[in-house]
Amino acid sequence: MHGNRDAIRGRIMKDLTQGSVTKHLLQMTAFLAISMVVQTLYLLADLYWVGRLGKEAIAAVGVAGNFTMVVLALTQMLGVGTTTLISQATGRKDQPQAELVFN
């Protein structure tokens, strides 16, 4: 049981102080950037099709889109805070604390 966890831990933990900073940043932010672009395109597509239904429908999609962006911003704040705590614990070589925050 512990062997599997150790194998997974070894594969996940990378030393980000080694290698290109630009490459590491692109690897860590690419998914988030793509998801934000897709979410915006989805909202614009909704507005295009709903625009045929009238101004009330457009207003409803606009409100829902704003709500979605607020939820996305809140989850990003939570993710950044959690990542910061894990990074600090990992930098201190405090693996139990990093795992506690992660879980």
Distance, in Å, from the CA atom of 103 to the CA atom of 101, rounded to the nearest integer, reads 6
Q: Which pTM was predicted? A: 0.57
Task: Output the pLDDT for position 46.
Answer: 85
Contact 44, 58 (CB under 8 A): no
Give domain status of residue 5, yes or no: no
Outline where the chain has alpha helix (H). Answer: 2-12, 21-50, 55-91, 95-102
Say which DSSP state 44 is in. H
Residue 64 included in any domain: yes
Q: Does 1 reside within a domain? A: no
Q: What is the average pLDDT across 49-75?
A: 90
Q: How many domains does the chain have?
A: 1
Is 4 among the domain residues? no
Domain that holds residue 60: 19-102
Sign of the torsion angle spanned by Cα atoms 25, 28, 30, 35: negative
pLDDT for position 15: 74
Cα separation, 6 vs 3, whole angstroms: 5
Q: With a cut of 70, say whether residue 79 has pLDDT above it.
A: yes
The least confident of 15-24, 25-34, 66-75, 91-100 is 15-24
Give the pLDDT confidence score for residue 2 in this predicted structure.
53
Tell me whether residue 6 is in a domain.
no
Q: Does 37 map to a domain?
A: yes
- Is 36 within a domain? yes
3-state DSSP assignment of residue 70: helix
Give the mean model confidence (pLDDT) for residues 33-46.
88
In a domain, 14, yes or no: no
